Structure 1
Amino acid sequence: MTVLEYDPQTEAFMLGAVFDQPSRIWEVRQIVRESDFAVPRNSALYSIMCDVADRGGTVSPITVNDRAIAAGRSHEFDATYPHEVYGLGAYGYQAMQYAEIVRRHGERRRLSEAAAKIQAIAAAGDDADGDIVEQASSLIDELRDGSFETSQSLGDVLQEALAAQDRPAEVTQTPWPSLNALIDGVRRGGLYTVAARSGAGKSIFALQLALHIAEKGQRVVYISLEMSPVELVNRLVALMQGVNIRGILNSQLTPQGREAFADGVAAIGRLPLDLREPAQMQWKNIQGIARAAHRQGDLGLVVIDYLGMIPSPPGSRSRPQDLADMANDAKRLARELNCAVLIVEQLNRNMTNRPNPRPMITDLKGSSGLENASDTVLLLHRGEKKVGGKVVQTSDVDFIVAKARQGETGVRTLRFEGQFARIVQKEHETTALIEPGEV
């Protein structure tokens, strides 16, 4: 039988290309498995690189060597080898080209190995143990199991649907009963989008929902590209403790306020809530943070605040397509990690030029891609009025459910309490004609 020979240099060049652009690890790992490598030290190095990325780190020779030592795997390759691979001069944009070659070679090698085993089974004849056809079939099944593409038979799907009826639905209700009446709550595996103009409360909504789910005992990771973790903590304490947010931001709290603030900080520290500000605002890094949180167990919600802040990859030619790709990736991520993903997004500015400024789903930035990928789209709107000759936003905030794959579309009106960085349920869903403080 012909022995397949492969150039191990290609494997090294692929690893070097990832070192050149660390975010490429997320693209490469979509098609390359550890078993695709013919050289053991390349397979080990790739495994450690993925581990570093999953932990939210930046893949580099230094971080890889540090992780290999921490994991007790430094014996699998020499400490100089990652630097040697990096020094080959491969460029990040070449990573996927090399990855395809590594994948193809890996598949051919495993197929060749399986064929050799099947030939040995056939040669054994009557001396083989058990059903030789079944043994050969199991080897082919192993090849299929190594593929990233999986499918289910209709029978399996039907059984899964029946079994699901015996389990409670994986839905966590939001803090707002009137909103739950429309969308039921937040489902694991679902992609949710909340969008609004600046100052309408979209980040407050996301923070309040994140806190609520964390208080239910589910792990939550809040990835903010706009506010630092300290700013997020300040707003969380304000809504939890009813402490005025301006007093917190200006360090002007009373002794009672400082005590309440300290109690709030302590309470947050006991929650399974992870507030993250990515060092690199790349989509693949954000996916890595979510996967790392999932490894810690019972991940219920990932918040991305907000999508428009994430830059397009190098060489991109279409921003709308990039946003659509990220939205589709977010949907797949929700299913992969069995958690809800909430995307926070801005609305297009041109909506303010319409006679009726109430937002529509087409006002989403990159609307078609984000709209199609989302299970639920929620638009927040605060009306305006004149008070003392000045135009101000009302304290009523309309929750416009523009899309609800698992619920109903409609509008619910809640009250925006900006001084406490929170949104609260109204006793009556009627828009007030006179706001507190006007008279």
Structure 2
Amino acid sequence: MNEPIQYDPQTEAFMLGAVFADPSAIWEVRQIVRASDFAIPRNAALFSTMCDIADAGTTVSPITVNDRLVAVGRSHEVPATYSHELYGLGAYGWQAMQYAEIVRRFGERRKLHEAAVGIQEIAASGDGEGDIVEKAASLIADLREGTLRQSRPIGSVFGELVEEMQTQAPFVPSPWPSLNAMIGGIRKGSLYTAAARSGGGKSIFGLQLALHIAESGKRVGYVSLEMTEKDLLKRLISMMQGIHQGALQNHQLTAQGWEAVQAAKAAVEALPLEVFDRPGARWEDIVGFGNALHRKGDLGLIVIDYLGLVKSPPGSASRQQDLEDWANAAKQLAKQLGCAVLILEQLNRNMTNRPNPRPIISDLRGSAGLEHASDAVVLLHRGEKKIGGKLVKTSDIDFITAKNRQGETGTRTLRFEGQYARIVQKEHENTALIESGEV
């Protein structure tokens, strides 16, 4: 089992010689193999140098390769005569693709063997620290990311696209028709951001959407870095049964209230909604949670509440860069797992100093990367009015769609029922569900 996978050194050599015979072949070959596919280190170094030369707009040849190796201080990795030896093998340029496929296959088998050995070592080490299943899964993920495939004409997926359009809805509607009128719904592979000031309803927005997607039968993961699982459960019960949050939080339920709690038990237990509430979680913990849910099947949504509470790795040089990296990673996670990801985030406090306190997209706290990576950004805003000389929040809550890759931006006004931890459509909608020009 642990014997190394055999390889064919002649094929590696002939593939490189074929590129020397036809330097333009490098552009096709590099779609199939990477330097890590080569078993012989000097071949890997030579191929990497060939790619660098091509990227610089220079013709690949034994002379330019040797010059490049000297210039970047890698001449010790490849003997100066080696490139000329490969050129003298007599390989033809048209053979480069055939040889590249063989190199790729042997490279994949070798990497798979190395991953299998790594998984055996993880299993043999015992429980240790952390999730050993996720450690093993990360080895497979690295293997998948390190593998290339030859490109294909875009028309080759035409039939697959038509079948998908005929049999699958492009999105799952949110619980708010007003929001659906703007963004259509929640699409798999998409990243969404909902932001508000502290106490502005972002967690209610996230939990209510999670409940709605779970009730549709899709699996949902909720990463709660601000509230405990039990706090979330109280909000969920309030949302589902219309029990005042104060009664639940203070454990002051009437007999009727206890009956409503019991009535919620079966419904909550049947929900495919799972919570991750580990304090001090890092981004890799969230990715591990998402992958674990994905293996269970039919994952529809991951909610991260909220991004600003994710812990930076030890030795991090820039919190700003961490936030930007996580925003981009969240988009990649949505595509990789084939689900939607919703990031909840706070808005900057200085927005309250403006004459008009309504938020704009630049008020997103932390990183502009979140704005760029998101497919849609919804800013939540609750207006205020004076009652008895004091400013009091109104029951109106605006959904301000500040970015929308699938349509137009706009605003819809709904009703905030904080006592029941939910946001609902107004009985009489005062913002049109379909504006002129919308489809």
User: Shorter chain as normaliser: what TM range?
Assistant: 0.5 to 0.7
Q: Is the 8 A contact 2:122 2:132 kept in 1?
A: no
1:183 is matched with 183
The one-letter code of the counterpart of 2:127 is I
Would you say 1:43 and 2:118 are equivalent positions? yes
Matches within 5 A, 1:365-376: 365-376=365-376
Matches within 5 A, 1:3-14: none
Q: CA deviation at 1:388?
A: 1.7
Q: Specify which of 116, 127, 146 is matched with residue 62 of structure 1.
A: 127
CA deviation digits over 1:135-156, x for unaligned, max 9? Answer: xxxxxxxxxx883345543333
Q: CA deviation at 1:266?
A: 2.6
1:334 is matched with 334
2:382 is matched with 382
Q: What's the TM-score, normalizing by structure 1?
A: 0.67
Change (3 A) 1:316 1:257: same
Q: CA deviation at 1:386?
A: 1.2
1:216 is matched with 216
* Aligned partner of residue 312 in structure 1, secondary structure: coil
2:146 is matched with 147
Change (3 A) 1:146 1:244: closer
Structure 1 unpaired stretches of 5+: 7-31, 50-59, 74-98, 107-144, 432-439
Q: CA deviation at 1:61?
A: 5.2
Q: CA deviation at 1:392?
A: 1.3
Q: CA deviation at 1:265?
A: 2.8
1:156 is matched with 156
Q: CA deviation at 1:284?
A: 0.4
The one-letter code of the counterpart of 1:247 is A
Structure 2 unpaired stretches of 5+: 1-7, 11-38, 42-106, 432-439
Q: CA deviation at 1:33?
A: 8.6
Distance 2:153 2:122 in 1: 32
2:409 is matched with 409
* Aligned partner of residue 127 in structure 2, secondary structure: helix
Change (3 A) 1:41 1:212: closer
Distance 1:66 1:283 in 2: 15
Q: Is the 8 A contact 2:223 2:305 kept in 1?
A: yes
The one-letter code of the counterpart of 2:361 is I
Would you say 1:240 and 2:261 are equivalent positions? no
CA deviation digits over 1:201-229, x for unaligned, max 9? Answer: 11001100100111111101111000000
Same amino acid, percent of matched pairs? 55
* Aligned partner of residue 171 in structure 1, secondary structure: coil
Aligned-residue RMSD, C-alpha: 3.1
Distance 2:232 2:115 in 1: 45
The one-letter code of the counterpart of 1:428 is H
The one-letter code of the counterpart of 1:180 is N
Q: CA deviation at 1:366?
A: 3.1
Q: Is the 8 A contact 1:48 1:64 kept in 2?
A: no
Distance 1:66 1:392 in 2: 47
Larger displacement relative to structure 2 (150-159 or 369-378): 150-159
Distance 1:420 1:302 in 2: 23
Q: CA deviation at 1:320?
A: 2.0
Q: Is the 8 A contact 1:219 1:272 kept in 2?
A: yes
Distance 1:197 1:418 in 2: 15
Q: What's the TM-score, normalizing by structure 2?
A: 0.67
Q: CA deviation at 1:403?
A: 0.8
Matches within 5 A, 1:74-89: none
Distance 1:192 1:348 in 2: 18
The one-letter code of the counterpart of 2:291 is R
Would you say 1:198 and 2:198 are equivalent positions? yes
Matches within 5 A, 1:93-108: none
Larger displacement relative to structure 2 (262-271 or 353-362): 262-271
2:252 is matched with 252
Q: CA deviation at 1:164?
A: 3.6
Larger displacement relative to structure 2 (390-399 or 38-47): 38-47
Distance 2:228 2:210 in 1: 16
* Aligned partner of residue 350 in structure 1, secondary structure: helix
Larger Rg: 2
Distance 1:268 1:34 in 2: 46
Q: CA deviation at 1:178?
A: 1.3
Q: CA deviation at 1:401?
A: 0.4
Would you say 1:396 and 2:412 are equivalent positions? no
Distance 2:357 2:122 in 1: 52
Q: CA deviation at 1:264?
A: 1.3
Distance 2:406 2:275 in 1: 29
* Aligned partner of residue 167 in structure 2, secondary structure: coil
The one-letter code of the counterpart of 1:62 is D
Q: Is the 8 A contact 1:34 1:43 kept in 2?
A: no
